[in-house]
Amino acid sequence: MSEEMMEEGGTIKKFLYVNRKAPYGTVYALESLEVVLIGAAFEQDVSLVFMDDGVFQITKGQDTAGVEMKNFSPTYRALEMYDVEKLFVEKESLDARGLTEDDLLVPVEVMTSEQIRDLMEDQDVILSF
Amino acid sequence: MSEEMMEEGGTIKKFLYVNRKAPYGTVYALESLEVVLIGAAFEQDVSLVFMDDGVFQITKGQDTAGVEMKNFSPTYRALEMYDVEKLFVEKESLDARGLTEDDLLVPVEVMTSEQIRDLMEDQDVILSF
Amino acid sequence: MKFAIQVNEGPYTHEASDTAYLFTRAALEKGHEIFRVFFYHDGVNNGTNLTTPPQDDRNVTNRWSELAAKHNLDLVVCVAAAQRRGIVDEGEMKRNGKSAQNIADGFRISGLGQLIEAGIQADRLVVFGD
Amino acid sequence: MKFAIQVNEGPYTHEASDTAYLFTRAALEKGHEIFRVFFYHDGVNNGTNLTTPPQDDRNVTNRWSELAAKHNLDLVVCVAAAQRRGIVDEGEMKRNGKSAQNIADGFRISGLGQLIEAGIQADRLVVFGD
Amino acid sequence: MLHIINKSPFERNSLESCLRTASKGSTLLFIEDGVYAALEGSAKADTLRQAMQDYTVCVLEPDLAARGIAAKAMDGIKRVDYAGFVDLVAESERVQSWL
Amino acid sequence: MLHIINKSPFERNSLESCLRTASKGSTLLFIEDGVYAALEGSAKADTLRQAMQDYTVCVLEPDLAARGIAAKAMDGIKRVDYAGFVDLVAESERVQSWL
């Protein structure tokens, strides 16, 4: 694993979280976010990709009062405080859903499929939800 | 419900089981079959439709030794003994999967989407798996 | 009108149990009768009394138990599906030599025939699942 | 080589736990090391000792327990996911005032950090799910 | 007849299968992740617009709001709450859930 | 890189998403309901034949056999058992499961 480095006695790996599922219909989005938050304490090199229906996780204006679930979307805004700052969104997924960067509740870098491809190849561990 | 009849003091309804999921990848096919078998004792007017990946439930030649699961496909052959004899398969689903009636392990009636449409409209209770 | 409800997925993982609950509650509020709620497939996992969901989230199982108590609902967990997934009442515990039971208040374990009966007796059967 | 395994779905409903088990067994047979098997989402339901599957079917939980005993495997059930779904060990039972515990032999409940640690320590992490 | 669709049309085939076998005059109700079918400007919008010529198309408003797309749903879709969902079931002689 | 696909290409979008983002030279492994992608003569066969030009395509034989389609899989697909699956993971620097 060429990407590994030793630093302060610990290994630093590149972790990629691939988020492909919509929120609320299933719990994967919420429980994936819980992994990211806990994982932040390990000071690894973390990136998040939102593609396919995963882009809906960070769509603005979520209001869950009617479904009586917890709205966890504000937590994505808190990721910065955990030093999780590399958020990528696939352009093709946004386009297919009629969404643009303006519809998202956090600052992200929009990438083409080709760029996501290169990002994936640059990782050590890929966690998919 | 115009299709209901009273017979020997009991109600007879038209039950349709819609099977749309592949076997083994998920348990729905197996547990749906368990409903059909139990339901047979109630002497209702039962039909089964196999469409989408549900057509794979009755594909010939299943051999589950390698995945160490029970091969439940022979049970479809036993349905006749339970007087469950109306098995319908959507032609469009077969075609899309490169299958023909010869690939199926039980006698079925192949129907077009239009015919399935009429069949559905003729039911009282639709159980979908 | 007389409704029957089928729930095919467990709590939290899929929205099915939430939607079924909110539908059932709305039906009762409109004066309809709920003949039975039948829990099948992973839906049987709604019937465990061992969950401790986060404080700021809904408690899916308790919500069903409370609705059942208030409206005298019949919440039936399928026995075959429950055996595959580990939902156990006192009878099942003894019969299968298990160390504990975990069935929640207001739920009972019974056979698949209860689903068919619900389909026959109710005016409408609505299925919630994945 | 050192593998870590993540299992995201419960027994029987999805094939994920079967595939993960057969993969893990094959890896051990080939002489690889399994650093940890981490059960997340509905995967925590693999860790209940209350199932009674049909006699002619595989026993998913027992199979994991036996493989763990034979190869000293570390089977970890995520505590947060387990609380949502009702998988309880003695500590959780006391802490949350539950009436029973249901954790199967060879499984232990711990935090999500164990998954991250597995990702760091293992050469490969393979995820099985829906 | 009432057809209930709870899956995202971007992820699964349920909408296509439903449209293949639903009679003209039926009602389609989108719930849970199915509500994404209502998105204006998406790759599925034309499919849904076409469907609106043959079917009454409804969407469960609480699921739409949860997902932040209440303002982005296409015109011509009827929005219902859980009580309206109950009414749709009561009014329909049969119900099919496209799980 | 190894891409593991466990969903039927007739039901879900995972195969398309994988093909959009997998680098040339990667290995695709179909397991569980994903093995239906290997069906000769299906509506997805051309997609897979095309993919075989850029990727090494493998299928988990026990899952293929379970589903009764071992004799119907396309030529040019490499069949592996669980031990072969383990080898593929060991040989690949990184692994992505398309759940």
Position B10 confidence tier, pLDDT thresholds 50, 70, 90: confident
CATH number of the structural domain spanning residue A83:
3.40.1260.10
Q: Which two tokens stand for residue A19?
A: 């988020």
3 state SS of B128: strand
Please report which confidence band the pLDDT of residue B8 belongs to, taking 50, 70 and 90 as the band edges. Answer: very low
Cα C74 to chain center, whole Å?
8
The answer to whether position B3 is within a domain reads no
Under the banding of pLDDT at 50, 70 and 90, the label for residue B5 is very low
Neighbours of D33 (CB within 10 A): 13
Shortest alpha-carbon distance between residue B92 and chain C (Å): 23
Strand partners, A15: A46, A125
The verdict on a CB contact (< 8 Å) between C14 and A68 is no
- DSSP H or E run through F90: helix F82-91
Positions of chain D with pLDDT lower than 50, given as ranges: none
List chain C residues with CB under 8 Å of E31: 19
pLDDT for C15-71, tens place per residue?
999 999 999 999 999 999 999 999 999 999 999 999 999 999 999 999 999 999 999
| Alpha carbons C38 and B40: distance in angstroms, whole number | 18
Average pLDDT of chain F to the nearest whole number: 98
Residue A1 confidence (pLDDT): 40
Q: Are D8 and D42 in contact (CB under 8 A)?
A: yes
All residues of chain F having their beta carbon less than 8 Å from the beta carbon of residue D125 are 95
- Among A69, A75, A129, the residue to mutate for chain C (most C Cβ within 10 A): A69
Asked if F13 is an interface residue toward chain E (Cβ–Cβ < 8 A), one would say yes
Strands (E) located in A51-116: 86-90, 109-111
Give residue A4's pLDDT.
46
Q: Please check the confidence at residue E19 and state whether its pLDDT lies above 50.
A: yes
* A5 has pLDDT over 90: no
Task: Specify the CATH number for the domain of residue E63.
Answer: 3.40.1260.10
Residue bearing tokens 């027994």: D11
> Could you give the percent of chain D with pLDDT greater than 90?
100
Identify the closest residue of chain D to A14 by CA–CA distance.
D120
Please report whether residue B27 resides in a domain.
yes
Mean pLDDT of A48-65: 98
Give how many domains chain E has, as a whole number.
Answer: 1
Contact F84, F31 (CB under 8 A): no
Helix, strand, coil shares, percent, chain B, to 5: 40, 25, 35
Q: Print the domain residue range for A87.
A: 14-61+69-128
Q: How many domains does chain D have?
A: 1
Contact at CB, F12 and E11, closer than 8 angstroms: yes
Q: Mutate one of B126, B127, B128 to test the C interface: name it (highest C CB count within 10 A).
A: B127
In this predicted model, what pLDDT tens digit does every residue of E9-18 receive, in sequence order? Answer: 999 999 999 9
Shortest distance between the Cα of C119 and any Cα of chain B, in A, equals: 6
Residue closest to C105 by CA, chosen among C65, C50, C48, C77: C65
pTM summary value: 0.97
Q: pLDDT at position B102, please? A: 97
In this prediction, residue A11 carries a pLDDT of: 84
Which domain CATH number covers D77?
Answer: 3.40.1260.10
> Is A3 within the bounds of a domain?
no
Looking at residue B129, its pLDDT comes to 86
Per-residue confidence band for A7, with pLDDT thresholds at 50, 70 and 90: very low
Closest chain B residue to D128 measured between Cα atoms?
Answer: B25
Query: Is residue B1 assigned to a domain?
Result: no
Nearest to F62 among B52, B59, B67 (CB): B67
**Which pair of tokens denotes residue D54?**
């049909």
Domain that holds residue E54: 2-97
* Number of structural domains in chain A: 1
**Residue-level pLDDT at A44:** 95
Non-local CB neighbours of E97 within 8 Å, separated by 6+ positions: B126, B128, C126, C127, C128, C129, E4, E6
Q: Flag whether pLDDT at A2 surpasses 60.
A: no
By C-alpha distance, which of A84, A5, A101 is closest to A47? Answer: A84
CB contact under 8 A, D15 and B24: yes
pLDDT at B11: 84
- Answer yes or no: are the C-beta atoms of B52 and F10 closer than 8 Å: yes
Percent of chain E whose predicted confidence (pLDDT) is above 70: 100
Nearest CA in chain E to C19: E32
Domain that holds residue D57: 2-128
State the pLDDT confidence band at A10, using cuts at 50, 70 and 90.
confident
Helix/strand/coil for F83: helix
Query: Which 43-72 residues of chain A touch chain C by CB within 8 A?
Result: 67-70
Give the pLDDT score at E96.
98
